[in-house]
Chain A
Amino acid sequence: MNAAAGLAPPLIRARHLFKTYPARDGTPVAALSDVSFHVGHGEFVTVVGPSGCGKSTLLRMICGILPAGEGELALRGAPVTGPSASVGVVFQSPVLLAWRSVLDNVLLPIDVQRRGRTAYLPRARELLAMAGLSQFEGKYPHELSGGMQQRVAIVRALIHDPDLLLMDEPFGALDAMTREQMNLDLLRLWRGSGKTVMLVTHSIPEAVFLADRVIVMSPRPGRISEIVTVDLPRPRRLAMMATAEFGRLTETIRAHFGAHGEFDA
């Protein structure tokens, strides 16, 4: 699929991935079933699907905070055995530490990985400025709006310059207007950075708007229905959502859920 795939290992490669959870009564519940895909360097890939389709499970496995199941899951050609320092993570809620100022929250990965704050201070300030948060570096999370808190979380995920950014429904808790703005801001931060982004969402328009490719998942158990290539030009503009091509892509994806009548968003 990807021209580079034959030369170097893709950034993420999943082959015949299975994952089961023990349910409360002990019977195993399948979360992922025969999931195979790869993500190339610098690609923006979104994963879309209804609740319970295993998309968050998949992301948490790539993060290394959930033990890998059966099958092959490799990051830069090496099997995932635990968290990696060159990965940035954003969750649905900002998960900011209330006792740390905005700047200190942004520097959390630097503190954890003992990289030395002074070396990263200029980068922290630069990223905060790009996120429109320059005046807020001394504020505490409770003094910020939900959208601003999530911006801080994204800046924190980028501070140690990871080459892979994993985002688990990062804008799911925001209102529609803020969400569109955050999508644009995210693309602006990503463009030209060379970073790879894998973003999980249950919004089909968001998945299409952001992505180079959309991995469409269906539930019970989580499996990949289709991988849709989005060839809308970049930079993306909100007006593109009104184009026929955008409509065709979202319809293609929606058809997977319409058939089961299971989509919840």
Chain B
Amino acid sequence: MTRAPTWLLSAILAVVLLALWEGAVRLFAIPVIVIPPPSAVAAALWQGFGNGELVANFWITLAEVVLGFIAGAAFGLVAGALIGLFPLLERTLYPYIVAFQTVPKVAIAPIFVVWFGFGIASKVVITATIAFFPVLANTIMGLRAAPAEQVDLMLALTASRWQVLRMVRFPQALPYVFVGLDVAIVLAVIGAIVGEFVGAQGGLGFLILQHDFNFDMPGVFAILVLLSALGTGLHWIVTATQRRVVFWLHDPAHRTIGA
């Protein structure tokens, strides 16, 4: 199969599902405040973009997600590298990080709002704490991923410990790091919305609550569409970056090498 028919099938599927949804809502006369028809959602999207409400709040949420993701990923990378390289840290520090990870971030969110206020800062912190762990865990695992033979080869070539790290362990960890980043970017969107639910002055999560209070279901659904697009777009950026950086993994034959 070539690519074009898959695309086409996908588009047809979307049209069919939307038509079924629209038809069912009309046929069974489901109230708009329970399930709005796609046409109403589209209208709400149009209106939201028109009056600038969606765009303004989109930027707020995007900023929270991106800043939180960068901060969380950066901490995850550095901490993961330290723990991955110094086994003593894994035995002493890592258990506490895991214990912290088991606390639901939603439960901590109200505390962060108290500490960092109703503005963007508290949301960035919540997002960062959520994005942190998957990057950390995958970095640790990635740094252990270098096959013993590769390390032996480097040692036989009289490589220093630092050269083994730079030339073998770091590149070998990259595929794992990207798995962590991909999980983190999706979680980052959740983190920002949760933070906005708990207490905010703007952002798409904040906007959802406002529309919800007004029983404006088409408005809520319009924001969900936008959030989905945001998450998909960010995931796509991470995946596209991964494909360029970890190019050697995107060949079906890659499993035969690297031993």
Contacts and interface: CB of A to CB of B under 8 A. Distances in A.
A95 B259 contact: yes
Given A95-B153, A98-B257, A99-B248, A85 B171 contact: no
Contacts of B155: 65, 83
A142 B157 contact: no
Main secondary structure of the interface of A (DSSP, over half): loop
Interface string A123-153: 0000000000000000011110010010000
Chain B, interface SS category: helix
A112 B248 contact: no
A93 interface: yes
B248 A140 contact: yes
B82 to A, nearest CB: 23
Contact of A85 (B153, B158, B248): B158
B161 interface: no
A89 interface: yes
Q: How large is the interface on A (under 10, 10 to 19, 20 to 34, 35 or more residues)?
A: 20 to 34
Given A98-B254, A140-B248, A93 B171 contact: no
Interface in A63-105: 63-65, 82-85, 87, 89, 91, 93-99
Contacts of B249: 98
B154 interface: yes
Interface string B239-256: 000000001110101101
A84 B159 CA distance: 10
A108 interface: yes
A111 interface: yes
Given A99-B248, A109-B157, A141 B152 contact: no
Contacts of A84: 158
23 contacts: A60-B152, A63-B152, A63-B156, A64-B156, A65-B156, A82-B158, A83-B157, A83-B158, A89-B157, A93-B259, A95-B147, A97-B150, A97-B171, A98-B248, A99-B171, A99-B174, A108-B157, A112-B154, A112-B163, A141-B248, A142-B248, A142-B251, A143-B253
Interface of A: 60, 63-65, 82-85, 87, 89, 91, 93-99, 108-109, 111-113, 140-143, 146, 149
